[in-house]
Amino acid sequence: MRGVSFEFEAGKVTALLGRSGCGKTTLLNLCGAMDFPTSGEVLIAGKPTAALGDRELTALRRTGIGFVFQFFQLLPSLTALENVELPLLLAGAKNTEAKALERLRWVELEHKANSLPWQLSGGQMQRVAIARALVHNPKILVADEPTGNLDTASGDAILKLIRRAASEFGAAVIMATHSGEAADIADTRIRMRDGLIQSVETA
Ligand SMILES: Nc1ncnc2c1ncn2[C@@H]1O[C@H](COP(=O)(O)OP(=O)(O)OP(=O)(O)O)[C@@H](O)[C@H]1O
Ligand SMILES: [Mg+2]
């Protein structure tokens, strides 16, 4: 990334668009505090990520940021409910099962709580992944090609949930995508090229 300056807003969906290799995943990793810039700053709620200690970073990644990936990344030996519950357990939360179940209900998969990932369709796996990403009410939802491995109908259902993550949970949603449908649901579209922001379009 070079010379990128942008503010991602709470309650809004921002789409990162551009050819393979233009830097979308790199920017997501910077926004998710998974990577750090060699120069410049990434501020989350006003704090530079590079200034955070290990403990603060872990807490931020665990509870302040939700991640959704193209290939779902569910733990294969855990049930849908356990996958959603895991971030709560890691954070030492209370009433973890009830909270996880509530999120599964939100993605309309309460009836699949005891299913293992291989027993679910791709769209269902991604809904579980979204429930997991939102179980802590994160301030930021980072989604890297969330519909890239789904058929149109399943992809549309995922995009509706992603929109609601912004409107109901107030998350700043940052989504990298190659899909026109996904770009269409965004409030702001950032077109990238060779590590630069080429244009910004706000609906
Ligand atoms: N850790 C790294 N160090 C150096 N270069 C990297 C690193 N990670 C990615 N790159 C390079 O940075 C560029 C941007 O990669 P990135 O994965 O962000 O692109 P992308 O827009 O997400 O592409 P795609 O659409 O294929 O997912 C690529 O040229 C890649 O090889
Ligand atoms: Mg990428």
pLDDT digits (tens, 9 = 90+) for 23-41: 999 999 999 999 999 999 9
Task: Specify the pLDDT at position 203.
Answer: 80
Element (H, E) at 28: helix 24-31
Handedness of CA 15, 103, 92, 77 (dihedral sign): negative
- pLDDT interval class at 146 (50, 70, 90): very high
- Specify the residue for token string 């505090």: 33
* 139/69 Cα distance (integer angstroms): 17
pTM of the model: 0.94
The percent of residues in the chain predicted with pLDDT above 70, rounded, is 100
Ligand 2 midpoint to CA 145 (Å): 7
Does the beta carbon of 179 lie inside 6 Å of ligand 1?
A: no
Ligand 1 midpoint to CA 58 (Å): 24
Asked if the model's pLDDT at residue 3 lies above 90, the reply is: no
- pLDDT interval class at 113 (50, 70, 90): very high
Ligand 2 midpoint to CA 28 (Å): 9
Domains, in order of start, for the chain = 13-78+117-202 (3.40.50.300)
Q: Whose CA is nearest to atom 31 of ligand 1?
A: 21
Q: In angstroms, what CA-CA distances link 111 with 74, 107, 114, 134, 168?
A: 18, 11, 8, 19, 23
Kindly report, residue by residue over 160-199, the tens digit of the pLDDT: 999 999 999 999 999 999 999 999 999 999 999 999 999 9
**CB atoms near residue 43 (< 10 Å):** 11
Task: Specify the pLDDT at position 145.
Answer: 97
Kindly report, residue by residue over 95-108, the tens digit of the pLDDT: 999 999 999 999 99
Element (H, E) at 82: helix 80-90
Taking ligand 2, which is a single-atom ion, which protein residues have CB atoms under 5 Å away? 24-25
Ligand 2 midpoint to CA 53 (Å): 27
- pLDDT interval class at 72 (50, 70, 90): very high
Ligand nearest to the CA of 21: 1
* 33/7 Cα distance (integer angstroms): 15
Q: Whose CA is nearest to atom 17 of ligand 1?
A: 25
Asked if the model's pLDDT at residue 60 lies above 90, the reply is: yes
